[in-house]
């Protein structure tokens, strides 16, 4: 990394980013370029940033998520993201869409600038994204709601409801009413 390249920590304010967990050996013998008040360590490279922290998700004015396929057992995780993966964030604009994984019964929100966005899922502002995310997670993980339906295939019912939450502006109540 060139000595001149050092982004100011406040330049990450109001951003969304998905970090991938990487092995701690990637920052071995490196000193952090910045340490936050909450003791998160930041290591800058020309292509991106490493973040060593014990907390992820909503951070001050940013939304940074860590995707992990490692089982380190530690609360402290090292994540990496390219600079091109930091997207602007605010609570007003419709910046987010939902993305479901029906194999693992999970759902996440993604930013519209994500190159994998197919432009089919509806975009929502932060508040509506949170609301729909919570509703979809409940549909995917709970079963008490299924008693109100005559279908015996709970997984098919889950898929129908969650897809409607993703691909329409219908409320959960409207979706459920239309299924019966």
**Domain end: 88, 113, 144, which one?**
88
The pLDDT assigned to 65 comes to 94
Strands 48-53, 41-44: pairing kind: antiparallel
The pLDDT assigned to 51 comes to 96
Residues of the chain with pLDDT under 50: 1-4
Count of structural domains, the chain: 2
- The pTM of the full predicted model, rounded to 2 decimals, is 0.87
The pLDDT assigned to 11 comes to 67
Residues 84 and 113 in one domain: no
Q: Is residue 2 part of a domain?
A: no
**Domain end: 65, 88, 111, which one?**
88
The pLDDT assigned to 59 comes to 74
Tokens of 155: 């997984």
Can you tell me which residue has the tokens 């292509």?
Answer: 47
Q: Is residue 106 part of a domain?
A: yes
| Total residues belonging to the chain | 180
Residues 15 and 80 in one domain: yes
**Domain end: 34, 54, 88, which one?**
88
The pLDDT assigned to 7 comes to 65
Question: Where in the sequence is the domain holding 16, given as residue range(s)?
Answer: 9-88
Strands 15-21, 62-67: pairing kind: parallel
The pLDDT assigned to 15 comes to 94
Residues 79 and 100 in one domain: no
């Amino acid at each position: 990394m060139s000595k001149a390249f050092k982004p100011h920590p406040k330049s990450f304010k109001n951003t969304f980013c998905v970090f991938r967990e990487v092995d701690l050996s990637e920052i071995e013998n490196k000193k952090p370029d910045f340490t936050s008040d909450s003791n998160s360590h930041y290591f800058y490279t020309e292509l991106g940033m490493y973040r060593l922290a014990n907390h992820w998700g909503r951070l001050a004015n940013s939304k940074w998520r860590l995707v992990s396929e490692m089982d380190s057992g530690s609360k402290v995780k090292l994540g990496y993201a390219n600079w091109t993966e930091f997207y602007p964030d605010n609570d007003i604009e419709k910046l987010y869409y939902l993305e479901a994984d029906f194999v693992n019964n999970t759902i996440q929100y993604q930013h519209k600038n994500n190159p994998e966005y197919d432009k089919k899922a509806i975009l929502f502002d932060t508040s509506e994204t949170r609301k729909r995310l919570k509703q979809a997670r409940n549909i995917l993980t709970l079963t008490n709601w299924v008693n109100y339906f005559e279908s015996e295939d709970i997984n098919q019912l889950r898929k129908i409801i969650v897809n409607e939450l993703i691909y329409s502006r219908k409320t959960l109540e409207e979706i459920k009413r239309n299924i019966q």
